[in-house]
Amino acid sequence: MNPKNQNFLKKKKIGTYLPLLITLIAFTMIILTCFFVSLNLTEGKFIYPFDDTYIHLTMARNLSEYGIWGVERERFTSTSSSLLWTSLLSALNLLLGENEMIALFLSISFSFLLLFWVFLILKKKAFPLPLPLIILFSIIFFAPLPAISMSGLEHAAHTLFAVAFSYSCADALHKRVISGSSKIVLLSLALLLTLTRYEGIFLVFITGLLFILRKRPRYAFLLWEACALPIGFYGLLSLSKGWYFFPNSVFLKGNSPHFFSWRILLKDLIKPWEQFLFNPHLSLLILSSFLIIIILWSKNRSLWHSPLLMNLIFSGTSLLHIQFARVGLIFRYEAYLIVLGILAISFALVKSLPSEFKISATDKRFGLKNMGLFFLILVTIIYLLVRGILIMAKIPRASKNIFEQQYQMSLFLKEFYPEERIAANDIGAISYFGNVRCLDLWGLATLEVARAKRKGIYGPHFIRQLARTNKVKVAVVYDSWYLEYGGLPPEWVRVEKWRIPDNVICGDESVYFYATEPQEEERLRKNLEKFSNKLPEDVERKIYY
């Protein structure tokens, strides 16, 4: 071959990867900016913007060092709903030694893999330039991916598996014939989805229904079995330890319906849909996807086209997520849905709608239909972009919040109450840094609390008895979290309050220190006074007498 032609082909090949290269560079620069701005706000100590990250790190340490799956090294606690993430962190601890930065490295690595995988899909589908670059940047800013990466949590991995699974399923459903290697890939991805997050069951359930409609019921049940395998295995292990079948976080953070009466069940089924109304970032995507489904169906009268299938998978999964899980309060829970929605709508706009529809001046109804769709998508893009930028801007501030509240709490407890039983409701940082034994008054790591909440008997009397049984002397809690349960035991002595400014992530801007027994008050007061000169300047103290 002519050398000039070889050089031309090499340049052309490199040029096809240019959108990916630009995206990865931009993503890296945003991550580095967030990282160094966070360090500047936290006195040079990197702090994750979520307390939950430290729950995973604590459990990973206990698993690698003591062989115990739990927040405490002495006993099993069913606290993590991401079996894969905690296990990966534990494995890396064994290989590399314990280091809290491992979670950040792992999360960023999965984010890179996600961008790379999406680019390969777009390249395979021959998306014309500059569309791959636009879609990749949309994922960065709409999810928003840098914020998810900085969390050090499993959401980037979950999004990667969700994208790979939904795309592969849409492709398999379109072709109808599934090769042996494709079956193995899909079954493996179904397994990984629920290993990473229990919400993966929504995606697998919807695709299973589509396989049944495609007259492939056997494969649908295989997918459901693969999805249920890690849940069932862990559930049986948890039951054998005296805990619930599902992790406590699933009960306490999800929207699981109660079957005490038809009235309560109906309320549980209707209430989650408030999330649809008050979370435009997701509802706008779902509405856009619904409209695309209607347009494609009205034209083709067939479900079995990849863009239509991807929109069906996205919409169905989103509806199940809204019904049974959380959105909005903490952006990371629905990040995988945002990315799925971006890809599903992009595939329809680029691969189906242009070839199927041409705006005609004589067809006013068709013109209005298109105008409505593209106006809705434009509003969605603007809203998602603004939301994503605002979230990313808050990440350094969130790290500062955790540094000024949970991290300082952990340093205080480590210095004055090592190995003692402490009552708290945010248990991540104080368990990881504090070297204390936590009575979790919110219920993620304390089974008795979760049971009391589910039975409707949680309140001051129950908290008092539980604290006495566990010989708790000090409680570090958010007062506001207990108002719906009647408050804390009235005999507990409130000693001091720490208040942080500009709170964007902590459960409350103010955390309170209580002596649970009168004889413990003076000791707690003296310890807090000794520690006061170590508190960051922004933390406001209020002493109670």
Q: What digits encode the pLDDT tens for the residues 101-146?
A: 999 999 999 999 999 999 999 998 888 888 999 999 999 999 999 9
- Report the pLDDT value the prediction gives residue 358, as an integer from 0 to 100: 45
pLDDT digits (tens, 9 = 90+) for 48-84: 999 999 999 999 999 999 999 999 988 999 998 899 9
Q: In angstroms, rounded to a whole number, what is the distance separating the alpha carbons of residues 115 and 136? A: 7
pLDDT at 4 over 80: no
Preceding amide of 130 cis, omega within 30: yes
- Residue 149 predicted with pLDDT over 90: yes
Tokens of 478: 């958010």
- pLDDT band at 296; cut points 50, 70, 90: confident
Per-residue pLDDT tens digits for 372-421 = 778 888 899 999 999 999 999 999 999 999 999 999 999 999 999 998 99
Q: What's the confidence (pLDDT) of residue 129?
A: 83
Mean residue pLDDT across the chain: 89
Q: Is the dihedral of CA 124, 126, 127, 128 positive or negative?
A: positive
Residue 515 β-bridge partners:
474, 493
Q: Where are the beta strands (DSSP E) in 479-518?
A: 493-499, 510-515
Tokens of 426: 């945010």
- Please determine, for residue 268, whether its predicted confidence score (pLDDT) is greater than 70: no
Residue 372's nearest CA partner among 295, 278, 317, 444 is 295
Distance from C-alpha of 306 to C-alpha of 167, rounded to nearest angstrom: 8
Q: At 258, is the pLDDT very low, low, confident or very high (cuts 50, 70, 90)?
A: low
* Paired tokens of 186: 């899909």
Q: Taking residues 151-161, what's their average pLDDT?
A: 97
Banded pLDDT at 352 (limits 50, 70, 90):
low
Residue 357 confidence class, pLDDT cut points 50, 70, 90 = very low
Tell me how long the chain is.
Answer: 545
Q: How confident is the model at residue 280 (pLDDT cuts 50, 70, 90)?
A: confident
Which of 103-112, 294-303, 356-365, 425-434 is predicted with the least confidence, judged by mean pLDDT?
A: 356-365
| Mean pLDDT computed over 363-375 | 63
DSSP 246: S
Work out the pLDDT band at 370, boundaries 50, 70, 90. low
Greater confidence (295 vs 11) lies with 295
What are the tokens at 376? Answer: 């809705």
Residue with tokens 């967030």: 34
pLDDT, residue 250, reads: 85
Q: Is the pLDDT of residue 327 over 50?
A: yes
| pTM for the model | 0.92
Q: Could you tell me the pLDDT band of residue 261, with boundaries at 50, 70 and 90?
A: low
Whether 108 and 149 have beta carbons less than 8 Å apart is answered as yes
**Which one-letter DSSP state was computed for residue 508?**
-
pLDDT value for 9: 46
Q: What is the spatial distance between Cα 288 and Cα 466, in angstroms, rounded to a whole number?
A: 50
Name beta bridge partners: 513.
476, 496
Distance of CA 435 to the CA centre of its chain: 27
pLDDT at 155: 96
| Residue 192 CB partners (closer than 8 Å, separation 6+) | 84, 161, 200
Q: What proportion of the chain, given as a percentage, has pLDDT over 90? A: 73
User: From CA 350, how far away is CA 355, in angstroms rounded?
Assistant: 9
What stretch of H or E contains 540?
A: strand 540-543
Residues contacting residue 278 through CB under 8 Å, at least 6 positions apart: 328
CA–CA dist 124, 476 (Å, integer): 54
Q: Would the pLDDT of 6 be above 60?
A: no
3-state SS assignment for residue 542: strand
Write down the pLDDT at residue 76.
95
Rg value, the chain, Cα: 25
Angle between helices 280-300 and 364-402 (to 10 degrees): 150
* Segment 470-520, tens digit of pLDDT: 999 999 999 999 999 999 999 999 999 999 999 999 999 999 999 999 999
Query: 511: closest CA among 401, 384, 369?
Result: 401
Instruction: Please give the Cα distance from 51 to 66 (Å, whole number).
Output: 22
Which residues face 540 on adjacent strands?
499
Strands 474-477, 493-499: pairing is unpaired
Give me the residue spans of the domains in the chain.
397-543
Beta-strand pair 493-499/510-515: antiparallel
pLDDT in tens, 7-60: 544 555 666 889 999 999 999 999 999 999 999 999 999 999 999 999 999 999
- The SS3 call for residue 500 is coil
Alpha carbons 516 and 305: distance in angstroms, whole number: 63
* φ/ψ (deg, to 5) at 302: -150, 140
pLDDT digits (tens, 9 = 90+) for 212-231: 999 999 999 999 999 999 99
Report yes or no: 252 and 453 within 8 Å, Cβ to Cβ: yes
DSSP conformation letters of 113-155: HHHHHHHHHHHHTTPPTTHHHHHHHHHHHHTTHHHHHHTTSTH
Structure tokens at 497: 């309050």
- Tokens representing 257? 């319906």
In this prediction, residue 361 has a pLDDT band, given cuts at 50, 70 and 90, of very low
Do residues 222 and 212 touch, judged by C-beta distance below 8 A? no
